[in-house]
C-alpha cells in the first residue's frame, strides 16, 4: 500500500486502486478460511482429495455438477 492511500497498491511503477469494500470482503474471507482450517483441518484434507479426484477423472458421474452445487 502507498503512503497517500491505504487502498492503493504500487508495484514496479504500476498502481492498482482497491475499493475499501473489496478489501473488507477479501480479508473477511481470509479470516474465515483461516478459522475453518484451524478448527476443521480434516475438511481441507477431504476437499483436497475430492479436487484431486475431479482433476484426474472430470467426466466421472459423481463429479459432474460438483462445483455448481452449493450444499455443504
What's the pLDDT at 3? 58
Q: Which of 9-13, 18-22, 24-28, 29-33 has the lowest mean pLDDT?
A: 9-13
Closest CA to 14 of 4, 23, 2: 2
Instruction: Tell me which DSSP letter residue 62 carries.
Output: G
More confident residue, 35 or 52: 35
Checking if the pLDDT of 53 tops 70, the result is: yes
Confidence grade of residue 36 (pLDDT, cut at 50, 70, 90)? very high
Domain boundaries, the chain: 21-72
Between 52 and 30, where is the model more confident?
30
Amino acid at each position: 500500500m502507498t503512503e497517500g492511500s491505504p487502498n492503493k497498491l504500487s508495484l514496479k511503477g504500476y498502481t492498482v486502486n482497491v475499493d475499501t469494500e473489496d478489501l473488507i470482503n477479501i480479508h473477511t474471507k481470509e479470516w474465515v478460511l483461516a478459522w475453518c482450517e484451524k478448527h476443521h483441518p480434516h475438511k481441507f484434507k477431504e476437499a483436497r482429495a475430492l479436487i484431486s479426484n475431479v482433476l484426474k477423472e472430470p467426466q466421472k458421474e459423481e463429479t459432474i455438477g460438483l462445483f455448481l452445487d452449493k450444499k455443504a
